[in-house]
Amino acid sequence: MPEPVRILLVEDDEGDAVLALLALASVTPPGSVHHAGDGEAALNFLFGRGAFQGRPGAETVRLVLLDLKLPKISGHEVLAAVRAHPATRTIPVVVLTSSMLPADVERCYRAGANGFVVKPVEFSAHERALQELAEYWTRLNFPSPTWGAEPD
Amino acid sequence: MDISTLATMLGLSHLLQVVGLSVQYVVNRTYRGIGWWLLWSASVAAGSAFAVLRHHPELRLLSIVAQNWLIVLGVTFLYVGLMRFYSRRVNRPFVATVIPSYLAAHAYFTLVSDDIWVRSVLVNVALAAISLFTAWELRSARTRGTSTSANFLCGVLLLHGLFFLSRSAVILAGARVTDFFSATPLNIAPLLDGFVVGNLLAVGLIILINQRSYTEMVEARDHFELLFHTSPEAVLITRVEDGVCLDVNQGFEALSGYSRSEALGHAMTDLDIYRSPADRQGIVEALKEKGSVSSVQVPFRRKDGTTFVGSLSARVFSLRGVPHVMSVTRDVTEQRRAEEAREESARQIQEWNVRLERRVADRTAELRDANRELEALVYSIAHDLRAPLRAVDGFSGLLERELAGRLEGDGVRLLGRVRRGAQRADRLIRDLIQYAGIGTVPMRPAPVEMGALARRAFDEVAVEEVRRTFRFTVGELPPAVGDPELLGNLFRLLLSNAVKFSLPRPERRIEVSGKREGGWAEYRVEDDGVGFNPEYADKLFGVFQQLEVGAEVEGTGIGLAIAKRIAVRHGGQIRAEGTLNGGAAFTFMLPDPGAGRA
């Protein structure tokens, strides 16, 4: 029985993705982090569509780390889609981005983001940020009981 | 000849004079003096009546006094009336001495000492004197317009006076004076004189009135004609009924080009003077309705076909019982043209203004859009630049960790350089973003306790071990109103600078002080650090303008630029003082919130 996926990392930059996965690897069981390279892949994974037909990731995911600048479907759109669907409405989404545009921060919180974290450039700060996020949301935080429930 | 008959006829003729002068008095209210003449004729008439009463023995003496008094007073009234008529002053000394003396003397020689001879001399001399005096006064009072009738009156009065003068002479020479009713030539003569002179005077006076009023009428008409013809405005008199022109002035000839003879007797419609017949119709309607029109602007056509705009005023009046119109027209073409030009230029200015405003608005919008685009670009670049920087620092970090213990000294140092370079580039990008963002984030002004803000900022810019090496003092700072976040940032920037540039020095001192002066609240951050060359004081606040201070001081060079932006955003300013190796002082000034109240 493989480890259920707890963290969905939505990140298009390969370097960032590698660094993030490395950072998370030391605080999470193997296989519990899924990386989606763009918005479409992220939604397919969450809703069990396309390559993930019949295996909706939303059922086990406890944290979505979402970059804003994504090809195909942008981070804002992914966030909107997640919040619009009953199955994913209560999944914690933390925006993880380089953007410091106040308008972006405001927009994300209005759309229902649970957090907004600016990726540090410095290696260890970046590593620490990711690890703390994973620790908090997957260990400390108590998820909503209606998680993954079928729509009424 | 019967004296009584003569006296009666004289009385009757005097009565007729009274009637004639009464009519003049009633009809003519404009001239003064006619009432006095009426008094003259009435007095003389009454005097004649008393002459008849002499028949009654018991009334004889009274009648003699009354008759003579009234006759002399009557002539005096005539004199006063003539003076009044000519608005001349009555010779008061003459009237006040001669008349009362005569009246008193005559009464004395009748009632006290009944002496007919003395009485005769008295009355003849008095009448001669008054008549001659009146003739003399009238001669100097007469005007040119009344000279004929005045001369006539003068002549009559002169004859009258001479008559009584000669009669006085005859009596003084010893002629026998008999009773009034004895038909002697000496008695008959004055009655005939009274008859003739009285009528002549009455007629003369009436002619005088007529002559004066005629003269004045002619003068008034001449004045009017002068006015009519010298007016530069076109004046036109037309009959309402058929529009036929009765009179035009020279102004009309000049303005319309039609001569007087061409216009007279023709209807205005024949002259084709109105460019639009509807205009004329409109004026006629208005005149029918209101009786007058005022300053109506009408386009006209001259005889030679050229056109002009006239301002026309007209009024209906009655001429020999027939309604006529007098119109006055002024050429306002130039005026109109100037007005139109003025309106046109005003309209053009208005249009330019609108266009200019629109252009300013367009440019402002463009600028705003460009600014927004630029801002978006900055953020986008920041985002895009930070990812590769993170990769550089991240993978160098990983490498460092992987190769820990296996790397030679040079390798460690080189990797460290790579990572420091990446981190420094990242700091630059963040500072730039902050600098760009100062102007765009909305301010949240609040009263700020600046001393506490400075102390907290100092805690934030240096760790405890470093802080302990400083003598840091904060004096009494005036309160300010501003964005606490931005002002805190301002203190942080200045204090971190002060700390940074003090580190190479053994003596580490930072003093924050403040004062209120001239509507400003001043805050000063002073240190004993490495200072700067005062020549470059102005350059400090530019972006990337950090001065060369040596490798031991690190900074991106944007801090002071940000500090300046914050001060300026608050309506304040910032300045730097310093010497090379002699410390530096940065002073920022904010508008003093308490200044208005003092």
* pLDDT mean over B83-101: 91
Q: Is position B94 within any domain?
A: yes
Q: Is position B389 within any domain?
A: yes
Partner residue facing A121 (CB), from B395, B398, B422: B422
B355-409, pLDDT tens digit by residue? 999 999 999 998 888 877 877 777 777 777 888 888 999 999 988 888 877 777 7
- The per-residue pLDDT for B550 is 43
pLDDT(B69) > 60? yes
Residues B248 and B161 in one domain: no
Predicted confidence band of residue B598 (pLDDT cuts 50, 70, 90): very low
Whether B502 contacts B509, CB under 8 Å? yes
Inter-chain touch B379–A100, beta carbons under 8 Å: yes
Spatial separation of the C-alpha atoms in residues B42 and B337, rounded to whole Å: 71
Closest residue of chain B to A17, computed from CA coordinates: B391
Q: Is position B597 within any domain?
A: no
Give percent of chain B above pLDDT 90.
39
Inter-chain touch A100–B394, beta carbons under 8 Å: no
Query: Mean of the per-residue pLDDT values for chain B?
Result: 87
Inter-chain touch B426–A102, beta carbons under 8 Å: no
Inter-chain touch B426–A98, beta carbons under 8 Å: no
Q: Is position A1 within any domain?
A: no
Number of domains in chain A: 1
- The per-residue pLDDT for B552 is 40
Q: Is position A149 within any domain?
A: no
Kindly report the CATH number assigned to the domain that includes residue B394: 1.20.58
Q: Is position A147 within any domain?
A: no
Predicted confidence band of residue B414 (pLDDT cuts 50, 70, 90): confident
Number of domains in chain B: 4
Partner residue facing B390 (CB), from A19, A69, A99: A19
Residues B377 and B401 in one domain: yes
Q: Is A149 on the interface with B (CB under 8 A)?
A: no
B111-136, pLDDT tens digit by residue? 888 888 888 889 999 999 999 999 99
B272-282, pLDDT tens digit by residue? 888 888 888 88
Kindly report the CATH number assigned to the domain that includes residue A49: 3.40.50.2300
Partner residue facing A121 (CB), from B384, B398, B426: B426
pLDDT(B594) > 80? no
Residues 6+ apart with CB under 8 A from B264: B245, B246, B247, B248
Spatial separation of the C-alpha atoms in residues B499 and B107, rounded to whole Å: 137
- The per-residue pLDDT for B544 is 62
- The per-residue pLDDT for A151 is 45
B134-183, pLDDT tens digit by residue? 999 999 999 888 999 999 999 999 999 999 999 999 988 887 777 777 77
Q: Is A107 on the interface with B (CB under 8 A)?
A: no
* A126: chain B residues, CB-CB within 8 Å: 390, 393-394
B36-65, pLDDT tens digit by residue? 999 999 998 888 888 778 778 888 888 888
B558-588, pLDDT tens digit by residue? 788 888 889 988 989 999 988 888 889 999 9
- The per-residue pLDDT for B1 is 60
Q: Which two tokens mark A95? A: 């925006």
Residues B43 and B130 in one domain: yes
Residues B394 and B368 in one domain: yes
B425-455, pLDDT tens digit by residue? 888 887 777 777 655 667 788 999 999 999 9
Whether B584 contacts B528, CB under 8 Å? no
Our CA angle for B428, B434, B435, nearest 5°, is 85
- Among A69, A121, A126, A130, pick the best mutation site for testing chain B contact (most B Cβ within 10 A): A121
Residues facing B238 on adjacent strands: B245, B325
Residues B103 and B161 in one domain: yes
ipTM of the complex: 0.82
- The per-residue pLDDT for B441 is 66
Q: Is position B596 within any domain?
A: no
Residues B450 and B518 in one domain: yes
Spatial separation of the C-alpha atoms in residues A77 and A95, rounded to whole Å: 12
Partner residue facing B394 (CB), from A19, A100, A102: A19
Kindly report the CATH number assigned to the domain that includes residue B564: 3.30.565.10
Q: Containing domain of residue B511, as a range?
A: 444-591
Q: Is position B195 within any domain?
A: yes
Partner residue facing B390 (CB), from A99, A101, A126: A126
Place of tokens 């009669």: B167
Q: How far is the alpha carbon of B429 from chain A, nearest alpha carbon, in Å? A: 11
Q: Is A16 on the interface with B (CB under 8 A)?
A: yes
Handedness of CA B177, B179, B182, B183 (dihedral sign): positive
Between chain A and chain B, how many beta carbons pairs sit less than 8 Å apart?
61
Partner residue facing B391 (CB), from A15, A122, A124: A15
pLDDT(B342) > 60? yes
Residue B320: how many other CB atoms lie within 10 Å: 5
Q: Is position B283 within any domain?
A: yes
Q: Is position A45 within any domain?
A: yes
Whether B274 contacts B300, CB under 8 Å? yes
List all residues of chain B from 412 to 451 with a beta carbon under 8 Å from chain A: 419, 422-423, 426, 430, 433, 437, 441
Whether B130 contacts B75, CB under 8 Å? yes
Residue B112: how many other CB atoms lie within 10 Å: 8
Residues B429 and B569 in one domain: no
- The per-residue pLDDT for B514 is 93
Q: Is position B540 within any domain?
A: yes
Q: Containing domain of residue A38, as a range?
A: 9-140
